[in-house]
Amino acid sequence: MSEDTLPEELNSPEPTAESTEIAVEATDDPDTHRFECRACGFVYDPDEGVKKLAIEAGTPFSALDPDTFRCPVCRSKTLAFKDIGPRNKPSGFEENLGYGLGVNTLTPGQKNVLIFGGFALAIAFFLSLYSLR
């Protein structure tokens, strides 16, 4: 079979539309992005807000007043914060999300469940070998 007769999705090294769609959904709304203080590592999450500063949950970082808002830990200005993206964004580079066995599109929490769940199953399997005689 020559390269010209392969289906388009197999012939192209580009990630599939489905995997890039997942990545786009995660980064569409900048109001859901978290911001990390580069000085101390504090993470401002708009879903949580900051109770110490009376900032309600659901307040995006862009809605905070840059003149009055300070990091609750180190008192740095808003210029010290960098965008780290939304909470449930798939980890890794967006162009690599279409490769592999579908694991690249999982969030870090889902990957942890997969890895440690696999370890637990392996341990249970090996412990069950003691019951054989």
**DSSP result, 68-101:** T---TTT---GGGEEEEE-TTPPSS-GGGTTSTT
Q: Does domain 3-131 have CATH number 2.20.28.10?
A: yes
User: For residue 120, how far is the Cα from the chain centroid?
Assistant: 24
Decide the pairing of beta strands 43-44 and 81-85. unpaired
pLDDT exceeding 70 applies to what percent of the chain? 78
The backbone torsions φ and ψ at residue 52, rounded to the nearest 5 degrees and listed phi first, read -60, -35
Top-confidence range, 51-55, 57-61, 105-109, 114-118: 114-118
Residues in the chain: 133
Would you say residue 24 has pLDDT above 60?
Answer: no
Tell me which H or E stretch contains 115.
Answer: helix 108-128
**Band of the pLDDT at 6, cuts 50, 70, 90?**
very low
pLDDT at 109 over 60: yes
pLDDT of residue 11: 44
Q: Which DSSP symbol is given to 125?
A: H
pLDDT for the residue 25: 53
Q: Check residue 7 and give left, alpha or beta (phi > 0: left; psi -120 to 50: alpha).
A: beta
38 pLDDT more than 80: yes
pLDDT of amino acid 53: 87
What's residue 18's pLDDT? 53
